[in-house]
């Protein structure tokens, strides 16, 4: 993530207006090698933690390449041929119309949602009605690249709220606390991305906004 410019450190503002010293943007992935590695990691998470699924759903826009790469990896790594689909931001008004692209959902499908980061859970909440309207499906899980572990106004994380509100279990590839632990004082391509000063900034931010676990 660091080498791809997906995980960066500095001064940023989240959608909620918080000043954060770290930022995650999977939109910066841009090569076949990166997509392959990411797909393999998502696929391994599904294989080891969720089990059998029928369809991967990638919310537009960043979830689309995640679902595609993961579907390919499930086939090449585990011999599992699953469908994948995604939504349009604007419904198509010609041809067949509609706002879904890819595998057509059917009753009984077990669907995994592939996302980049969950901050407030807005994207998932917006796409759930779309999935439920398409067919009587079960959300087998939500996979995200990074769990920022941030608490909302009620003191719970977005991941906790998604589970309590919809029963959706979220599986992060890595948490922000794991990132701090893994990268502190580690040199990447000749540069230490989390030095003592950045570690202090991250710890202060997490103390104010993040959950303990």
Contacts of 37 (CB under 8 A, 6+ apart): none
Catalytic choice (92, 104, 106, 133): 92
CB-based contact 29:62 (threshold 8 Å): no
DSSP state of 54: S
- CA gap 51, 107 in Å, rounded: 19
How deeply is 40 buried, as exposed, middle or buried, from its count of CB atoms within 10 A (0-12, 13-18, 19+)?
A: middle
- CA gap 3, 10 in Å, rounded: 15
- CA gap 150, 119 in Å, rounded: 7
Angle between helices 176-183 and 196-209 (to 10 degrees): 160
Q: Confirm whether 154 is a catalytic residue.
A: no
DSSP assignment string, 97-133? -EEEEESPP-TT-EEEEEEEEESS-HHHHHHHHHHHH
Catalytic choice (94, 154, 191, 213): 94
Q: Confirm whether 136 is a catalytic residue.
A: no
Which residues are registered as beta bridge partners of 86? Answer: 58, 101
Q: Which residues carry out catalysis? A: 92, 94
């Amino acid at each position: 993530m660091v080498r791809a410019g997906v995980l960066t450190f500095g001064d940023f503002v989240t959608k909620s207006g918080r000043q954060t010293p770290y930022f995650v943007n999977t939109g910066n992935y841009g090569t076949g090698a990166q997509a392959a590695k990411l797909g393999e990691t998502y696929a391994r998470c599904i294989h080891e933690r969720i089990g059998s699924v029928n369809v991967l759903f990638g919310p537009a826009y960043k979830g689309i390449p995640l679902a595609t790469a993961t579907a390919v990896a499930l086939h090449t790594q585990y011999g599992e041929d699953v469908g994948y689909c995604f939504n349009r931001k604007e419904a198509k008004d010609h041809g067949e119309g509609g706002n879904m692209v890819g595998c057509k959902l059917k009753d009984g499908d077990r669907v995994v949602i592939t996302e980049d980061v969950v901050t407030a859970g807005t994207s998932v909440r917006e796409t759930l009605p779309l999935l439920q309207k398409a067919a009587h499906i079960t959300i087998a899980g939500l996979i995200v690249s990074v769990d920022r572990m941030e608490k909302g106004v009620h003191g719970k994380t977005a991941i906790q709220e998604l589970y309590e509100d919809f029963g959706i279990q979220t599986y992060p590839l890595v948490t922000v606390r794991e990132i701090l632990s893994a990268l502190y004082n580690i040199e990447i391509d000749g540069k230490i991305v989390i030095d003592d000063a950045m570690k202090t900034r991250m710890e202060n931010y997490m103390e104010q906004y993040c959950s303990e676990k």
